[in-house]
Chain A
Amino acid sequence: MKLPDFEYRAPDTLAEAVVLLASSEGARPLAGGQSFLPIMAFRLAEPTMLVDLKKIQELRGIQVSEQGVRIGAMTRWREILDDPRLKAAIPLLPEAIEHVAHYQVRNRGTIGGSLAHADPAAEMPAVALALDAQIEAMGPKGRRMIAAQDLFVGPLMTSLETDEIIVAVHIPAGPSNRRYGFQEFSRRRGDFALAGIALSYDQDAQGRAANIRIAAFSIADTPVRLKAAEAILNGKIVDASTIAAAAAAASGEVDPAGDIHASARYRKALVGTMLTRALERAAADAR
């Protein structure tokens, strides 16, 4: 199998990369290549130039502060899993990333690449939605912040311009009473999920949930918030009866397609089951 022919550049700075991307219609950024190379192998993408981001220092590094976490776009899955600060600051992140792909792919795949790739079955886009992440992007017109909910517009489609580069992901720190939940079901660990849930909420002194954000993935063209389920839980104590009501609402509000891996009906039911398990874990998890 041969990839389509392209020119290869590896600039040292972000500014140079932006200029290169703007210079040619068919120029695309290259991060870990773990999604892009397969897509090129299938000729689903035929870029004329690949701008490898590997040398750009500004795209690297993880910063943890009181305000939250900033993760450079070129941070690899492996580095996220290996950073003990992230486990303490935002436990949802490493918990979800453990489900991303296999050992070798996690050694090269990056968080920025995953967000830009926008696979509806991928974990990170849903996690970004559940954590209200902001995506920092840089293009010829300058720098801008994009809320995760505005980034994903369709399968493998984002609101990024073709000459914009994701610089970093910003995740706001939650209050100390924030709860997180993650569940997915896949046929083999490391494979893409048939359906999955990432969620966060704040639990007040009376045990009631507030600011709940539930994101489901692998059930639509983009990751989606489950608004009906959220409405049931906001202001309520998360217990067996509210969880059951939320799970029923979740199965009702999604409209997944069936494929060779799972029928639509199965996926609908699975969303409810995944939400139930994620909520049970979050409620039991007294941090």
Chain B
Amino acid sequence: MATQFEVNGRKVSVNVQPRMTLADCLRHELKLTGTHVACEHGVCGACTVIMDGEAVRSCLTLAVQAENSKIVTVEGLSPAEGLSPLQQAFKHHHALQCGFCTPGMLTTLHALLSQEPNATEERIRDVISGNICRCTGYVTIVEAALDARSAYQAGSEKA
């Protein structure tokens, strides 16, 4: 099925089987391998992308369901050069070790902080409870998110 949507500000047109998930479409058709895939049934959060401003699991979304939507993947979070404030905060706080969960953490937290720039620590913890990280123990991820809030509060970061 011919399907059109926008990825990281670029219009794309793909011809996919209806059964292809958005995650597979991004990785295999569009070669955007920043979106990671692990459990493939909605449990781990590694595949999170931002769809029309909201964090969603791309393994639980069909590519054909993305028709006419705006998708942002982890690749789309970085500025032309360097790192975004959230990425910078992850680096500063050592909020990643193996990095497998990181794309999902970044997209989830970017969507959250864009909508709720004053999110409390409790809110941040609740939100990333849907993303499994086997390395960090979450503490540094929460610290990074708290630290990055100021960039979103200042309005320089938006989904």
User: Which residues from chain A sit less than 8 Å from chain B, CB to CB?
Assistant: 1-8, 10, 33-34, 37-38, 41-42, 50, 52, 54, 78, 101-105, 107-108, 188-190
Contacts and interface: CB of A to CB of B under 8 A. Distances in A.
A132 B65 CA distance: 34
B64 interface: yes
30 contacts: A1-B40, A4-B19, A5-B18, A6-B18, A6-B19, A7-B18, A8-B1, A10-B64, A34-B42, A34-B57, A34-B60, A37-B21, A37-B41, A37-B59, A38-B42, A42-B41, A50-B62, A52-B65, A78-B54, A101-B130, A102-B45, A102-B127, A102-B129, A103-B130, A104-B45, A108-B56, A108-B61, A188-B129, A189-B129, A190-B130
Contacts of A2: 19
Given A38-B60, A108-B56, A103 B112 contact: yes
Contact of B129 (A1, A3, A8, A190): A190
Nearest to A188: B129
Contacts of A190: 126, 129-130
A214 B64 CA distance: 42
Closest 7 pairs (CB-CB, A-B): A102-B130, A8-B18, A38-B41, A3-B19, A1-B40, A107-B54, A103-B127
Nearest to A37: B60
Contacts of B88: none
B108 interface: yes
A105 B39 CA distance: 14
B64 A105 contact: no
B52 to A, nearest CB: 10
Nearest to A40: B19
B89 interface: no
Interface residues of B, number: 28
A3 B21 contact: yes
A54 B130 contact: no
B129 A33 contact: no
B17 interface: yes
Contact of B56 (A3, A4, A107): A107
Interface in B10-47: 17-19, 21, 40-42, 45
A33 B60 contact: yes
B87 interface: no
A4 to B, nearest CB: 7
Contacts of B54: 78, 107
B102 to A, nearest CB: 16
A96 to B, nearest CB: 16
A104 B48 contact: yes
Contact of B60 (A6, A42, A108, A188): A108
Which of B17, B59, B62 neighbours the largest number of chain A CB atoms within 10 Å of its CB? Answer: B62
A22 B150 CA distance: 54
Interface string B45-73: 10010000011110111101101000000
Given A102-B45, A103-B127, A190-B130, A50 B61 contact: no
Nearest to A1: B40
Contact of A104 (B40, B55, B64, B65): B55
Given A37-B21, A104-B55, 16 more contacts: A1-B40, A1-B41, A3-B19, A4-B19, A6-B18, A8-B1, A8-B18, A8-B64, A37-B41, A41-B41, A102-B127, A103-B130, A104-B57, A105-B130, A107-B55, A190-B126
